[in-house]
Structure 1
Amino acid sequence: MEGPLSAAVVMKPGDVPLADWRAIWLDAEVRLDPACAPRIAGSAAAIERILGRGEPVYGINTGFGKLASVRIEAADLATLQRNIVLSHAAGAGEATPAAIVRLMLALKLASLAQGASGVRPETIAMLERLLAAGITPVVPAQGSVGASGDLAPLAHMAAAMIGVGEADTPAGRRPAVDALAAAGLAPLALGPKEGLALLNGTQFSTANALAALFEAEGLYRSALVTGALSTEAAKGSDTPFDHRIHVLRRQPGQIETADALRALMAGSAIRASHLKDDERVQDPYCLRCQPQVMGAALDILRQAATTLGFEANGVSDNPLIFVAEAGSGGDEALSGGNFHAEPVAFAADMIALAVCEIGSLAERRVAMLVDPALSGLPAFLTPKPGLNSGFMIPQVTAAALVSENKQKAYPASVDSIPTSANQEDHVSMAAHGARRLLSMTANATAVIGIELLAAAQGCDFHRPLASSAPLEAVRGLLRAQVPHLDDDRHFHPDMEAAIALIRSGAVVAAAAAASLPGVA
């Protein structure tokens, strides 16, 4: 992952590209396009007109969920909105990472600022000011089933806005009311529908899924580099990456992946050394089928990116406020189900499958490299096997991480459990499906880091032959921090260094001479 971006994102609600969401994830400043102010004010005014008609409207002057038939008197409307925030702030578990909560705040801002939720300009301004001041509500990570919105997580976010709960600030964690005061802000007094508007929506699930998508893109590109380096270490063939093979299959991700692998190996003296006298007719699948497996992962990551791009720019509130046009007969509050996060759940499951397979294929390459019968290299990549164990246990660690990811990759979207006295009888489980993803990308990143070490060690045995310029740049980057393994030493620091190079994006940057496909 690259470092923080300094340029501000000017958010145009409904039209925010994924690149801007990535920048926000990386801590860019957020500013709301002032052109959306009339829509916000018009929507808030419509709420007042709807109330003036005296008709029951869900969430504005009625109870919530199964209690929708209970009418609320005008004198209690403000209490109603405060109560929904306090009662729904019932999350459990560890605090959500601050970067995820910050992305969630920005997603909620983009949704409400489209003028379909009936919130006042001052409520929009509070979200902007929290982002600008670095005030991040403490949001327990567990408690959403991904329908009726991410109610509990968003309630904890909203609670901080009204001065309840805790928030992380540049000065540390403190009570939310104190965090607001330190930034010169007074707790927000919620108007009609505003508590419900803040709680309804898929922003928690979407924030987690977007963050994982951005991590998965870096993971995919890093695995291309280490996969090519492993192919070199095993003196594998680049023939399976021939463009003509993949054009016949017509799968776009496969074609781009093969082209990238071929470019990564172009000009390699290691490859040239065995072009004519290689006794192996075909390499193992973990080398030969990289375009097919990694290309399929690329394609579904792109599908997930499309879905999440729509969701991030959509409005997932309920009910939705439609401001009357001249001669149309009045403002409307329409109840629907945009809060149901099934699209996000499906996208999260696709990301999980891709991340799992990227790590799984990489682990198979590590297993191949440490096996002399398959790689032709010294056993466990050590010059003195027996006395030294070399890469024996790092491969075991990679296998453990891959198996953990396999267990986590089971689709969350196929699960459902009725809630709210069966009023909310089918839910998406998007929050859980998205929340598991960052731990999965961390596991797979560690596997790719182990492969980087193993592949570089394998290539060392081919000296003085060198690989291609991009792959030699990567090997040089690693060797500047981790020397060749001669005799056994404390292995964990080597792994941590390699994993950090993968996580930071440095490996992809070092191989920049070869063009690597992107997801979003």
Structure 2
Amino acid sequence: MSYNYLPLDRKHTDFQQIKNLLAFDQHVSITFDAHERIIKCRRYLDEKVKGSDALFYGINTGFGFLQNVKIDNTQLEQLQSNLLKSHACGLGEEVPKEIVKLMVMLKIKSLSYGHSGVQIDTVNRLMDMYNNDVLPVIFTQGSLGASGDLAPLSHLSLPLIGLGEVMHEGKKYPASEILKKFDWQPIALQSKEGLALINGTQFMSAYGLHNLIRCHRLLQWANIIAAISFDGFDGILEPLNPNIHAVRPHAGQVNTAATLRRLLNGSAIALQKKSQVQDPYSFRCIPQVHGATEDTIRYVESIFIQEINAVTDNPNIFPDEDLIVSGGNFHGQPLALGLDFLSIAMSELANISERRTYQLISGQRNLPAFLVKNPGLNSGFMIPQYTAAGIVSENKQLCTPASVDSISSSNNQEDHVSMGANAATKCKRVIDNVEKVLAIELLTAVQAIDFRRPLQSSPELEKVITAFREKVSFNETDRILHDDMLAAIEFIKADPQI
């Protein structure tokens, strides 16, 4: 496929395409098929409403509890613009740029199926915004994860009608100012359009995809860092024997054990005679723990790929069947459960990582206490472990599931909600924390390896150690480790090269 743009239509979009979209800074474009389906659906809806006195939810009625209030045909445009303005009630931090980009792309993708009733001008404008780096300012708080991500998607949609704020080339502008710059006229929303724009799970879905991309990278780093710690602690290779994992063949466990064997292959440290019979679980059970997280990531990824290849606004329009059907595809329960599961699984990567850090500084296996010369005069790596422990504890608190909560809204019309938006944003916080804890382990593990010299680890791991030492030097005496920790975090933000 071309790396120039991502085609959007009813064909399946996979995870690699999402990664490429961000990695190669691609543009987006609907296909000819999607263009025709959007026009066909809009034409059908216009004819349906024009020739009938029937009530169609959100098309010629109010919203939520106001579902039975009929709106005059002369006020339908005002109804839709009122919807965007009244529902733009977001608060909190601004959503990061990459997640906003995913939100806009996913909204276009969902509309491209031709079941939402929008006019083609609306979709074209969303594409123009994406491709010209005009990204709405959206806030993290305001969605209950049902009825769609109403508040975040309202902020996403406001610039279509010349309201709200946007980021463009790194600066924030009133949307009206950017419309003038590009000579774009505000979109005159037609019936159903406002509802099509703000119903949907694109906030949750975008966060989920962004989280999953990072999870894949951090899992790779977790295995590499664990392997360095393994040699730093002078661990025993026996628990990585493939026969052990063949009789309990969870895919992630088998894969992790194979990865660790590959990473440690040729290590003089690993091959030297050991004095201990067994290692602590944080070393011996790496395949079982990391592998379970790998399996969870794969499962949650399947949920989100299913979701983004779907129509999630309401009501849904089926021109070929002459149907306008109101349902609940905007309900975020599958995503909320998946995001909570992902948070728990990723939290465990940090949990076991901190335990390895603790073991490395504990003065065992011929390593000095706190991995520093002259401990006592120097505190060495005592306090990075404190920091890791505090972060791991914070993650445990964040892993209380959001999906078990619900609160009634819209005068009890919307009486069960998923809280998937909260699950999404706190999942990102968990993953941010995992990155920090893994970086602390890397900092500690490489220091431990240096106390094993002149013995070498494996050729693969020595490449990582050498690259890391170009960023962070050996700690001879006490210095400000905050700076080293930040450098370690930056180091693992890149994809591993082994």
Q: TM-score if structure 1 supplies the norm length?
A: 0.93
1:189 aligns with 2:188: yes
SS of the residue 1:410 aligns to: coil
Q: How many pairs were matched up?
A: 495
1:279 aligns with 2:275: yes
Shift of 1:371: 0.3
**1:157 is aligned with what amino acid?**
L
Shift of 1:6: 6.3
1:447 aligns with 2:444: no
Aligned counterpart, 1:312: 308
State which of 305, 313, 319 in structure 2 corresponds to 1:323: 319
Provide Cα deviations, 1:324-368, integer angstroms capped at 9, x if missing partner. 35xxxxx21101100000011011111101110001110000000
User: Structure 1 residues 493-502 or 334-343, which shifts more?
Assistant: 493-502
SS of the residue 1:173 aligns to: strand
1:437 aligns with 2:436: no
Q: Is the 8 A contact 2:268 2:458 kept in 1?
A: yes
Tell me the distance in 2 between the aligned counterparts of 1:246 and 1:356. 23
Uncovered stretches (5+) of structure 2, i.e. residues with no partner: none
Q: Is the 8 A contact 1:14 1:111 kept in 2?
A: no
User: Structure 1 residues 71-80 or 46-55, which shifts more?
Assistant: 46-55
Q: Is the 8 A contact 2:8 2:108 kept in 1?
A: no
Shift of 1:282: 1.0
Q: Percent identity?
A: 42
Aligned counterpart, 1:382: 372
1:44 aligns with 2:34: no
Aligned counterpart, 1:57: 56
Q: Is the 8 A contact 1:9 1:28 kept in 2?
A: yes
Shift of 1:122: 0.7
Shift of 1:209: 1.1
Aligned counterpart, 1:21: 18
Tell me the distance in 2 between the aligned counterparts of 1:156 and 1:288. 49
**2:412 is aligned with what amino acid?**
N
Tell me the distance in 1 between the aligned counterparts of 2:113 and 2:64. 24
1:8 aligns with 2:5: yes
Q: Which residues of 2 match residues 391-406 of structure 1 at below 5 A? A: 391-406=381-396
Q: Which residues of 2 match residues 261-272 of structure 1 at below 5 A? A: 261-272=260-271
Q: TM-score if structure 2 supplies the norm length?
A: 0.97
Q: Which runs of 4+ in 1 moved over 4 A?
A: none
Shift of 1:171: 5.7
**1:384 is aligned with what amino acid?**
N
Provide Cα deviations, 1:82-124, integer angstroms capped at 9, x if missing partner. 1111100111112111211111000000000100101111111
Tell me the distance in 1 between the aligned counterparts of 2:185 and 2:204. 29
Tell me the distance in 2 between the aligned counterparts of 1:318 and 1:396. 49
Shift of 1:503: 1.3
Q: Which residues of 2 match residues 143-292 of structure 1 at below 5 A? A: 143-170=142-169, 172-274=171-273, 278-292=274-288
Q: Is the 8 A contact 2:13 2:309 kept in 1?
A: yes
Tell me the distance in 2 between the aligned counterparts of 1:460 and 1:38. 64
**1:46 is aligned with what amino acid?**
Y
Tell me the distance in 2 between the aligned counterparts of 1:428 and 1:171. 34
Shift of 1:15: 1.2
Q: Is the 8 A contact 1:112 1:315 kept in 2?
A: yes
Tell me the distance in 2 between the aligned counterparts of 1:370 and 1:234. 10
Tell me the distance in 2 between the aligned counterparts of 1:35 and 1:50. 23
Q: Is the 8 A contact 2:103 2:203 kept in 1?
A: yes
**2:343 is aligned with what amino acid?**
A
Q: Is the 8 A contact 2:315 2:324 kept in 1?
A: yes
Provide Cα deviations, 1:269-308, integer angstroms capped at 9, x if missing partner. 111122xxx2211110000000000000000110000000
Q: Is the 8 A contact 1:145 1:430 kept in 2?
A: yes
Uncovered stretches (5+) of structure 1, i.e. residues with no partner: 326-330, 513-520
Q: Is the 8 A contact 2:143 2:149 kept in 1?
A: yes
Tell me the distance in 1 between the aligned counterparts of 2:323 and 2:117. 11
Tell me the distance in 2 between the aligned counterparts of 1:357 and 1:340. 28
Shift of 1:23: 2.6
Shift of 1:34: 2.4
Shift of 1:20: 1.6
Q: Is the 8 A contact 1:133 1:183 kept in 2?
A: no
Q: Is the 8 A contact 1:14 1:314 kept in 2?
A: no
Aligned counterpart, 1:408: 398
State which of 355, 359, 370 in structure 1 corresponds to 2:346: 355
Tell me the distance in 1 between the aligned counterparts of 2:465 and 2:67. 63
Tell me the distance in 2 between the aligned counterparts of 1:222 and 1:489. 26
SS of the residue 2:454 aligns to: coil
SS of the residue 1:324 aligns to: helix
Q: Is the 8 A contact 1:25 1:100 kept in 2?
A: no
Shift of 1:56: 0.9
Shift of 1:372: 1.2
Tell me the distance in 1 between the aligned counterparts of 2:225 and 2:103. 33
Provide Cα deviations, 1:56-95, integer angstroms capped at 9, x if missing partner. 1001001100000011111111111111111001111121
Q: Which residues of 2 match residues 329-340 of structure 1 at below 5 A? A: 331-340=322-331
1:345 aligns with 2:336: yes
Aligned counterpart, 2:465: 475
Aligned counterpart, 1:421: 411
Aligned counterpart, 1:517: none
Tell me the distance in 2 between the aligned counterparts of 1:49 and 1:134. 36
**2:81 is aligned with what amino acid?**
R
Tell me the distance in 2 between the aligned counterparts of 1:477 and 1:71. 67
Shift of 1:504: 1.8
Tell me the distance in 2 between the aligned counterparts of 1:171 and 1:442. 23
User: Structure 1 residues 166-175 or 306-315, which shifts more?
Assistant: 166-175
Tell me the distance in 2 between the aligned counterparts of 1:485 and 1:194. 60
SS of the residue 2:29 aligns to: strand
**1:421 is aligned with what amino acid?**
N
Provide Cα deviations, 1:196-245, integer angstroms capped at 9, x if missing partner. 00000000011011101111111111010000000000100121111111
SS of the residue 1:94 aligns to: strand
- What CA RMSD, in Å, does the superposition of the two structures yield over aligned residues? 1.3
Aligned counterpart, 2:484: 494
Tell me the distance in 1 between the aligned counterparts of 2:4 and 2:351. 37
SS of the residue 1:223 aligns to: helix
**1:337 is aligned with what amino acid?**
G
Shift of 1:53: 2.9
Tell me the distance in 1 between the aligned counterparts of 2:487 and 2:170. 30
